[in-house]
Amino acid sequence: MLTTSVPPPPFSRLPPLPTFPPSISPEPLTPTLAAQKQVAELCLSQHEIAARAEPHRTFPFDRVAHAEFLAGALEKYPWQFQVQDASRPWLVYWAVAGLSALGEELEDVEDWRDGLVATFKPCQNLDGGFGGGYGQLSHLATSYAAVLSLIASEKEECYRMIDTRAMWHYLGRMKQPHGPFTMCAGGEVDVRGAFCALVIISLLGLPLELPQDAPARKSGCDNFLTNLGEWIGKCQTYEGGLGSSPGNEAHGAYTFCGLGSLCIMGTPSKTVKKFLDVDLITKWLSARQYAPEGGMAGRTNKLVDGCYSHWIGGCWPLMDAAMQDESPNSSKRDYWSREGLLRYIFNCCQEDGGGLRDKPGKRADAYHTNYNIAGLSWVQNKYSFSEPKDGEGVASGLAPAHGWDYKPVVDIPGLPDGRVNPHHPVYVIPWTAAAKAQAWFGANRAMAR
Amino acid sequence: MVDYGSDPAWSDVVPIVQLDGGPNALAQIAYSDEYSEAMSYLRALMAANELSDRVLSLTENIIRINPAHYTVWLYRARVLLDQNRDLRSEIEWLNPIALKYLKNYQIWQHRQTIVDKLDDPTGEQEFIRTMLEKDTKNYHVWSYRHWLVKRFNLFNKGELEETERMLDEDIRNNSAWNHRWFVVFSQDDSVWKDPGIVNRETQFAKSKIQLAPQNESAWNYLRGILRNSGTPGSAIMGFVLQFAPIDEPEKIRSSHALDLLADIFRELGHIEDAERALDLLANIYDPIRENYWTYRKDKLVISVDS
Ligand SMILES: [Zn+2]
């Protein structure tokens, strides 16, 4: 368990910017390099100020201010925010996931759990999916955000409002015969669609068999997983990460969605190895972490950004599970710098007065607040997966949420003050919520075919 | 601004007002009257499944207020595809909106739907170029470009030259590198058996590395070629050593060269040299990735044992 007696290691463990001797042909200063140098200097100065001011050598984690910021994100917005009208389920998901991880009960703030059903009823369509608001078309992204928010509450009244049978039919209509899913009827086909659909299928315990009215059946496709692993494999680029669809540039968010999908489809050490080049993705993920910033960038030669604390940082728990049987050492091994990311989040992403952000100089928002907090969960815990015994899987053989386990990591600075409640590495909601939902939906499965 | 409530052209429509879940609902928005009214009329038209010209004017108004509204775009596309509408003028209407809202992505899915139906890519490459001048790494624009190239078989229609031009402007633009890979290598696997193309691309990557040895994009491209063409790393060992002279570590100019060198040594069975390269990465040249380099070192031993 967690011990507090371990002293923080010295600041020098965060390595400095590699400085190369003058080269024969000096590196040309292009827009990419100029921006990179500027951000590196900005972050280094943040690290230096933090190390001067405080014995733990990071800025303290301002838990209450961040919780207040997220609670504020659930309040009423002025009209200028109507450009977010199609993203309200996301705003709710970011806030409730972040608040659950912070575990902060705020006085004078009504419990968000009581507002969920009222919020999502108008978004729910007869076709089974959720749209961004009343009268908006069903969309896999908003369905994902709505289902996760409802499940994060751990309340039965929230479970009950999801129409599982209609949802099953809706997802069936999104399945494409060549493997992936479209985000909505007439919308884009990319790896987010697969991840959103699989998260919903596995949490609600829906059958993997496609409903009879699924159009993909006409092409001989009878299962949600048909051709899916192969298609995700094709999203892996020559660099090692995954793009949104085959041929597109490797990108952190799509890589998380692809890996997450494979980690739902079966035991990660089998599915990830079967469909991806593991050496290549490990190398690419590793190269996304920069010094002296310590944070993660989403693509090659792009800048660090707090949301990739999750999109890249969150790939590491999944890769840990994928590689846990490689050698006797594997379960103890780390492939990345937890300390570097922790420092980036604490020193560079906290906005004075609450909320977390992309990088110094940017404004905090609910999205970056949630995904930085999720990053803390990946930094602070070591995750693993144990294959379920027979019959313990969900929806005919998917990897169950409770197959995952975590152990808190103790020897990083800034703790225990900055510790958050651990998220589930696949579902990115509180640890207990995912397994509890699977158990409830499993026991209440009354799906007439 | 249109006042739908008093406009005779809309008098037959009974608007469906916003249902926002009552006082308990979270993250509600205090919509402007203008947006609220327009949305109420849109809900009514959608409920009646109306595919008329007035849908186009209504969706145009809503998009002006909220361009991130996927439902409005999708419904507009349905109307446009429903009968023979003028899709050219739709593209002309879209252009300034795309340039105004650079980060909006619904617009690119819409464009794809329209251009697909038009069955004609005229002007698209030029417009993409204008967009990328404003935002050189915009993921949605690059994705649209991939779709366009594939849909209309534009692989040999100036795309290669375009990536070269963009890399001349910024040698580290990884989106341009990725597009080059897509244009050259994604059409047909037989390209890997064409020594002319494999050599040309190898030389291209090498020449860019000469200009900026610490540019990861160029090294990733080069390594992708080696791996897919089955070329052993030892074939370019002399080139790599220029940037990572391991016997004179103070002269090393590229961590990526050192990384590749470690793999070449492993391939040749020179385990101690590979360890030396990985130690330099862990301790001096890329220490934030120390854990990864240590893992690579441990794997050397495992692969020797087995
Ligand atoms: Zn971000």
pLDDT, mean over chain A: 90
Residue A18 has pLDDT above 90, yes or no: no
Span A373-393, average pLDDT: 87
What pTM value is reported for the model?
0.95
Decide: A127 and A166 in contact? Cβ < 8 Å: yes
B49 close contact with A: CB closer than 8 A = no
- Of B29, B74, B175, Cβ closest to residue A85: B29
* Cα–Cα distance, B114 to B94 (Å, whole number): 10
CB contact under 8 A, B143 and A245: yes
Task: Give residue for tokens 């925010």.
Answer: A81
CATH number at residue A171: 1.50.10.20
B291 close contact with A: CB closer than 8 A = yes
pLDDT of residue A9: 41
Task: Give residue for tokens 């922790």.
Answer: A342
Quick one: tokens of A418? 């900055």
Assigned domain for A421 exists: yes
Under DSSP, the state recorded for A382 is E
Residue at A152: amino acid letter: A
* Cα–Cα distance, A303 to A297 (Å, whole number): 5
Tell which residue, A185, A268, A303, A182, has the closest CA to residue A231: A182
With bands split at pLDDT 50, 70 and 90, how would you rate the model's confidence at A411? confident
Phi, psi of A189 (to 5 degrees): -100, 110
CB contact under 8 A, B66 and A86: yes
Assigned domain for A166 exists: yes
Structure-model confidence comparison of residues A416 and B233, the more confident one? B233
Q: Is the bond into A292 cis (omega within 30 degrees of 0)?
A: yes
pLDDT of residue A198: 98
Tell which residue, A75, A110, A296, has the closest CA to residue B26: A75
pLDDT of residue A391: 60
Decide: B85 and B54 in contact? Cβ < 8 Å: no
pLDDT of residue A311: 98
Interface probe for A, chosen from B17, B18, B26, B284 (most Cβ of A below 10 Å), is B26
- Of A85, A92, A290, Cβ closest to residue B26: A92
Span B73-99, average pLDDT: 94
Residues 6 or more apart from B69 whose CB is under 8 A from it?
A85, A86, A132, A136, B62, B63, B106
Assigned domain for B61 exists: yes
A27-36, B110-119, B242-251 — which is least confidently predicted? A27-36
Structure-model confidence comparison of residues A356 and A104, the more confident one? A356
CA of A196 to the centre of ligand 1 (A): 20
B168 close contact with A: CB closer than 8 A = no
Span A314-326, average pLDDT: 95
pLDDT, mean over chain B: 94
CB atoms within 10 A of CB B205: 23
The alpha helices in A276-337, defined as continuous H runs, are: 278-286, 308-311, 315-322
Residue A25 has pLDDT above 60, yes or no: no
Assigned domain for B285 exists: yes
Tell which residue, A130, A148, A166, A165, has the closest CA to residue A203: A148
Assigned domain for A57 exists: no
Span A372-399, average pLDDT: 85
* Stretch (H or E) spanning A404: strand A404-408
Decide: A440 and A369 in contact? Cβ < 8 Å: no
pLDDT of residue A50: 86
CA of A104 to the centre of ligand 1 (A): 24
- Residues of A designated catalytic: 251, 299, 302, 305, 307-308, 358, 365, 368
Residue at A50: amino acid letter: A
* Stretch (H or E) spanning A408: strand A404-408
A173-229 residue pLDDT tens:
999 999 999 999 999 999 999 999 999 999 999 999 999 999 999 999 999 999 999
* Cα–Cα distance, B66 to B60 (Å, whole number): 10
Chain A nearest-CA distance from B70, in A, is: 7
With bands split at pLDDT 50, 70 and 90, how would you rate the model's confidence at A105? confident
Decide: A74 and A112 in contact? Cβ < 8 Å: yes
The bridge status of strand A404-408 relative to strand A381-385 is: antiparallel
With bands split at pLDDT 50, 70 and 90, how would you rate the model's confidence at A11? very low
Quick one: tokens of B114? 């329209």
CA of B273 to the centre of ligand 1 (A): 40
B86-98 residue pLDDT tens:
999 999 999 999 9
Residues of A in contact with B150 (CB under 8 A): 247
| Start-to-end Cα distance in chain B | 74
pLDDT of residue B183: 98
Q: Which domain holds residue A373?
A: 64-448
- Beta bridge pairs of residue A385: A404
Decide: A245 and B140 in contact? Cβ < 8 Å: no
With bands split at pLDDT 50, 70 and 90, how would you rate the model's confidence at A394? low
Assigned domain for B284 exists: yes
CB contact under 8 A, B27 and A27: no
Q: Is A429 left (phi over 0), alpha (psi -120 to 50) or beta?
A: beta
Structure-model confidence comparison of residues B81 and A412, the more confident one? B81
Radius of gyration of chain B (CA): 27
Strand, coil or helix: A350:
strand
Residues 6 or more apart from A373 whose CB is under 8 A from it?
A66, A97, A98, A101, A102, A356, A420
CA of B141 to the centre of ligand 1 (A): 18
Quick one: tokens of A403? 């197959």
Chain A nearest-CA distance from B124, in A, is: 18
Decide: A198 and A186 in contact? Cβ < 8 Å: no
Span A233-258, average pLDDT: 98
Q: Which residues keep their CB under 5 angstroms from ion ligand 1? A: A 305, 307, 358
Q: Using CB atoms and an 8 Å cut-off, which of residues 261-280 of chain B contact chain A?
A: none
**A290-294, A443-447, B135-139: range with highest mean pLDDT:** B135-139
Decide: A276 and A285 in contact? Cβ < 8 Å: no
Based on the structure, what is the number of domains in chain B?
Answer: 2
Assigned domain for A35 exists: no
With bands split at pLDDT 50, 70 and 90, how would you rate the model's confidence at A10? very low
Tell me the helix, strand and coil percentages in chain B, rounded to 5.
70, 0, 30
CA of A276 to the centre of ligand 1 (A): 26
Assigned domain for B258 exists: yes
Residue at A56: amino acid letter: H
Task: Out of B100, B103, B134, B251, pick the active-site residue.
Answer: B103
CB contact under 8 A, B212 and A28: yes
Strand, coil or helix: B63:
helix
pLDDT of residue A56: 58
Assigned domain for A76 exists: yes
CA of A41 to the centre of ligand 1 (A): 19
CA of B263 to the centre of ligand 1 (A): 33
ipTM for the complex shown: 0.96
* Cα–Cα distance, A325 to A323 (Å, whole number): 6
Assigned domain for A352 exists: yes
Tell which residue, A148, A244, A259, A132, has the closest CA to residue A200: A148
Assigned domain for B52 exists: yes
Tell which residue, B77, B64, B85, has the closest CA to residue B114: B77
Residue A369 has pLDDT above 80, yes or no: yes
* Cα–Cα distance, B302 to B304 (Å, whole number): 5
Work out the angle between the directed axes of helices A315-322 and A252-265 (0-180°, nearest 10): 40
A132-171 residue pLDDT tens:
999 999 999 999 999 999 999 999 999 999 999 999 999 9
Structure-model confidence comparison of residues B172 and A3, the more confident one? B172
- Of A116, A185, A300, Cβ closest to residue B174: A300
Based on the structure, what is the number of domains in chain A?
Answer: 1
The distance between the two most distant Cα atoms of chain B, rounded to a whole number of Å, is 85
CB contact under 8 A, A301 and B173: yes
CB contact under 8 A, B68 and A133: no
pLDDT of residue A396: 67
A98-107, A190-199, B258-267 — which is least confidently predicted? A98-107
Assigned domain for B136 exists: no
Q: Which domain holds residue B39?
A: 1-83
- Tell me the C-alpha to C-alpha distance, in Å, between residue B289 and each of A70, A259, B112, B306: 33, 21, 40, 26
Interface probe for B, chosen from A124, A149, A161, A249 (most Cβ of B below 10 Å), is A249
* Cα–Cα distance, A142 to A128 (Å, whole number): 12
CB atoms within 10 A of CB B250: 7
Strand, coil or helix: B201:
helix
CB contact under 8 A, B29 and A84: yes
Nearest residue on chain A to B25, alpha-carbon basis: A119
Q: Which sign, positive or negative, has the C-alpha torsion A413, A417, A422, A427?
A: negative
* Cα–Cα distance, A308 to A336 (Å, whole number): 14
Residue where a domain terminates, one of B83, B98, B118: B83
Q: Which sign, positive or negative, has the C-alpha torsion A362, A367, A371, A374?
A: positive
Chain B nearest-CA distance from A137, in A, is: 6
Assigned domain for B93 exists: no
- Of A83, A247, A336, Cβ closest to residue B68: A83
Quick one: tokens of A172? 């069936």
Chain A nearest-CA distance from B255, in A, is: 9
Span B14-30, average pLDDT: 92
Assigned domain for B295 exists: yes
| Start-to-end Cα distance in chain A | 46
Decide: A99 and A429 in contact? Cβ < 8 Å: no
Residues 6 or more apart from B24 whose CB is under 8 A from it?
A114, A115, A118, A119
Chain A nearest-CA distance from B291, in A, is: 5
Residues 6 or more apart from A280 whose CB is under 8 A from it?
A236, A239, A240
Decide: A376 and A342 in contact? Cβ < 8 Å: yes
